[in-house]
Structure 1
Amino acid sequence: MNPRVVIIGAGPTGLTAAALLTRYGVECVVLERWGAVYPQPRAVHLDDEVYRILGRLGLAEDFAAVSWPCHGLRLLDPGLRVLAEFRRAPGDGRHGYPQANMFDQPDLERLLRSRLEAIGGITPRGDTEVTSITQNETGPVRVEVTDRVTGARETIHADYVLGCDGANSLARASIGAMMTDLRFDQRWLVVDVATRTDLGEWEGVHQVCNPQRAATYMRIGKTRYRWELRLLPGESGEDFRERDRLHPLIAPWTKHVPADELEIVRVAEYTFRAQIADRWRDRRVFLLGDAAHLTPPFIGQGMGAGLRDAANLAWKLAGVIGGTLPEDVLASYEAERKPHARAMVRMAVLIGKAMTEGGRFGDLIRKVVAPRLALVPALAAHVLDSETPALRRSILIERPRLRRTLAGHLCPNTVLDDGRRLDDVVAGRFAVVTALTPSEADRTAIQSCGAVLITAHRSGELDRWLRAGRTDAAIVRPDGTALRSSNSLSQLCRSLPRFTAAWI
């Protein structure tokens, strides 16, 4: 077996990478040590930017059926009195989906597996343990695997390997990468409960700001609820396996529900860490997801960061394999994703410390700053805004140093004249978004590069996006990110990359 790409790990990151590559016609194999979808809940949140990636895979409606929109954030003091409440406006965000969405990770993984099978007839190879990854200077990557059921060994050669194999990544070890500690380490108890009885709580995230026993409560589905509670010194997850020990911790939210109507799905101890790999690539081996970064859960960006990795890398890899992009564009993956991931990890650490630590800093944030933020509509909206930082400069992001630009920012996934959204029309290609009238030469240049011309009508969402960047036109990459912007459409068209690998 000699596929173009081997993907190690069939979690959300690996499955998303495989589905995106398969849509571009790239032959993949996905290797997974577990025999089937891991049944325990883990990740529970993704935003509209990540939802948009699922939408590109044709999973928007299916995901909507298994997800639960989140109405905002409520900060509570140790007595569960409301310090501040940030309510999210109803409706979809700039990308056409709810800005905060709760779900059960096994449900998402099943959707991704079904979609991968439908796109390319690919089923992850379960019960397959990757034992080594080696590469020489010019040849393919050698992947040694062992069947965990039969013990049979096999060697797979691939042009590229994507290590989506989690926090204890063999792929990371194989390239000699190390995790850099961003100085956050807390032990928490994670409790998942199922009940058909509605708890009657506000449909947003409840964050208990308590330096002794910080806690988070959230509804993640029609019958599913989650609590995350910080463990005290000397406590462990084993201490709360029995219902009598666990129930007092969640009783403030379940006091009206008989204990026998609460099904304990899982009680587990987790150590929330903030770490990022010092390097994400060695020649033809790449790190994605938890193999490259670990994020505390306070802003709900852990799993989503992995899907962002997959969306960033897949189209570039497809272009290189298809011969329409030079191989040096692959250096842009780490250049773009690593600073973005680090910024999100640091934001999660900051929020976590503000919500859970004692001292003057924590008291100031909880008692003074947060309640006042909630009283100012513009500031409250900023707290809930799902927009993440722009990507840094790379070979595929042309950002001037001293002036405002759209480069690195996501283009809104707006509804166009024909009723379809931008992503549906662009269909995995480059696009030129412009408020200017293109010449025939411009149209020819765009068409010859395999790109799509998108007109930004006056006062429409795309026109507002362009004006916010003080520009008249922008090149938008297949992942929805602006490559560069200009007030000269002809100049922009001359710099348009040739990329013909449209969705199959």
Structure 2
Amino acid sequence: MEEVEELEKPNVLIVGAGPVGVLTANLLGSEGIPVLLIDQNPGILEIPRAISLDQDALRILQASGLGEEASKIMPSISWVEMISPYVGTLAKINSMGSMDGHPRLVSIYQPDLERLLRKGLERFDHVKLWSECTYLTHIESDSGIIVKVKYNGTTYRISTGFLLGCDGAHSQVREKQGWKLKGSSYKEDWLILDVDDLPNVLDKVEFICDPKRPIAHVPGPGKSQRWEFLLRNGETKEEMEKPEKVAELIRPWGELSSMKVQRKAVYRFQAKTVECMGKGRVFLLGDSAHLTPPFAGQGLVSGMRDSFNLVWKIASVLRKEASKDILSSYNMERRPHAKKMIRLAVFLGSIIMTRSRIAAFFRDLLMKFLSFTPARPYLSDLRLKPDNSFGKGLFLKKDTLRNSSISPGSVFPQAPLRSKDGNWELSDSLLGSHLCLVGYGVHPSRILSQSCIEIWKRMGGMILHISNQQQASEITSNSVEDVTSSFLKFFGGADRFAIVRPDKIVAAVFQGKEADDTVLRFAEIYRGKMP
């Protein structure tokens, strides 16, 4: 078959147009990066899969410019409850309220989210989607990558700068790289049952920790809900998917004849992480890089974090604002965090999946005891979930500020700010999609030397001054007012500064006297070699 050289050379080629791949194309498109997104399927898979997102995911959707539309189709979830048949509620985790400007937990219907993300691609002439296109292979060199694909019966050789594998658990890109998934598969199978048109709306997640048959019960948008039933020894996939068996399992919640079954399938969960998430010009995101049991609701969220972490780094390298060396921080940062989330899911699964009555009895005693100890907030306030923070990566780790909750490698918080014209905006919208030097109480341009300001500009950096209420009269075009005093609490005082990355990770914190030295030290690792 004739091979045709692609005339329009994308800077990035993405394999896999699931939610992570399409989100990545949207974020790259927002940066003005030419992208080709390919997928072997003709369109969206019209079945529910991922069913919840947290505030991190919503913040990423906000960054993509689709946050407002997404919020219309994602109702909040109030509680996560673990229930024992012997002692009642083991733990009741509060997911009400907001964090970083967004609800802490929402339910989603994945096909609707994917439709929103695909519609977002229409904003960009420089982003193309080829459906029913098959990835074949790729060859990497120092100067770029040649990717071979089959599309409309023709085999194409496409030159590109970076190849992103978002092609799921059976990733062909991962296989070609020779990177192995490491971890374990559960021995147990689960029946996943998605149902719509239920008479009542569910606003909480229920884990029924019954050793006879553990069950997860999760709300979806509107009148949809999901059940996950653990198969007992000897039960088969064929038996569990029969209508009469499904009707028997669902009967405590209603008659199957009055419900609309969207999906029924038997799955075996996995807890695995790839040995390398990215090297050179090839990177893996989402299920291509890590597979997690569903008990923590972090599968899709982890993939979205991958995308947010990687996209700005690629864009900065392509704009020649940063050294290609910064891309090594993607694997350094994301792989350990993804493993933490998998460990959390495995831990929660061990509580839920206990099938021994004796083990369940001691579990119930322990959980009840912990509810009367200082460990209670970790069970009741989502503190079990690891923060999206890193031990190693693209930041100046040793810098700290007294009385501050902001530290290098952690997430920079989001809160409302008031601009000079009196409008209120969430802070991420003001920080933008570039590096940002944020000063609290003192304008950064007043303490930086002119030479450092020029270096900062060459890095694509922006400057933002957050004033306290006493400084309202000093608000200028790149100043905003901390009306709620949220950032006073975060920074721990005035004359405090932070370098914030486009993915809202703190790269450095410092006081005014350290400004030039800090900017120069960060510029050295950003434009030169990683330490």
Greater gyration radius: 2
Q: Secondary structure at the residue paired with 2:102? A: coil
Distance 1:121 1:107 in 2: 24
Match of 1:466 in 2: 491
Give 1:25-424 correspondences, 5 Å limit.
Answer: 25-78=32-85, 81-89=88-96, 91-93=97-99, 95-120=100-125, 122-136=127-141, 138-147=142-151, 150-182=152-184, 184-198=186-200, 201=202, 203-254=203-254, 258-358=255-355, 363-369=361-367, 372-373=370-371, 378-383=377-382, 388-394=387-393, 396-400=394-398, 406-418=407-419, 419-424=424-429
The TM-score with structure 1 as length reference comes to: 0.89
Letter in 2 for 1:455: I
Q: Is the 8 A contact 1:47 1:98 kept in 2?
A: yes
Stretch deviating more after TM superposition (313-322 or 440-449): 440-449
Letter in 1 for 2:466: T
| Equivalent residue in structure 1 for 2:13, among 2, 6, 9 | 6
Q: Secondary structure at the residue paired with 2:269? A: strand
Structure 2 residues not aligned, in runs of 5+:
1-5, 470-483
Quote the offset at 1:185 in angstroms. 4.5
Distance 1:179 1:68 in 2: 34
Letter in 2 for 1:218: V
Q: Is the 8 A contact 1:184 1:349 kept in 2?
A: no
Letter in 2 for 1:411: F
Stretch deviating more after TM superposition (423-432 or 329-338): 423-432
Distance 1:141 1:116 in 2: 24
Quote the offset at 1:496 in angstroms. 5.3
Q: Is the 8 A contact 1:190 1:228 kept in 2?
A: yes
**Per-residue CA distance 1:56-88 (angstroms, 9 max, x = gap):** 112122111211211111111247943332333
Corresponding residue pairs, total: 488
Stretch deviating more after TM superposition (343-352 or 480-489): 480-489
Quote the offset at 1:181 in angstroms. 1.0
**Per-residue CA distance 1:80-122 (angstroms, 9 max, x = gap):** 9433323333x322x1110001101111111111111123463
Q: Once superposed, what is the RMSD of the aligned Cα atoms?
A: 2.8
Distance 1:293 1:401 in 2: 31
Structure 1 residues not aligned, in runs of 5+:
none
Match of 2:436 in 1: 431
Sequence identity percentage: 27
- Change beyond 3 A, Cα 1:389–1:60: closer
Give 1:417-496 correspondences, 5 Å limit.
Answer: 417-418=418-419, 419-438=424-443, 440-442=446-448, 445-446=452-453, 448-449=456-457, 450-455=461-466, 457=468, 460-467=485-492, 472-488=496-512, 490=515, 491-495=517-521
Quote the offset at 1:367 in angstroms. 3.6
**Per-residue CA distance 1:245-292 (angstroms, 9 max, x = gap):** 1022122222xxx43220111001111110000112232111111111
Quote the offset at 1:135 in angstroms. 1.7
Quote the offset at 1:183 in angstroms. 6.2
Q: Is the 8 A contact 1:390 1:408 kept in 2?
A: yes
Match of 2:478 in 1: none
Quote the offset at 1:171 in angstroms. 0.9
Q: Secondary structure at the residue paired with 1:82? A: strand
Letter in 2 for 1:219: P
Q: Is the 8 A contact 1:144 1:155 kept in 2?
A: yes
- Change beyond 3 A, Cα 1:400–1:155: same
- Change beyond 3 A, Cα 1:409–1:101: same
Stretch deviating more after TM superposition (319-328 or 278-287): 278-287
Q: Is the 8 A contact 1:83 1:371 kept in 2?
A: no
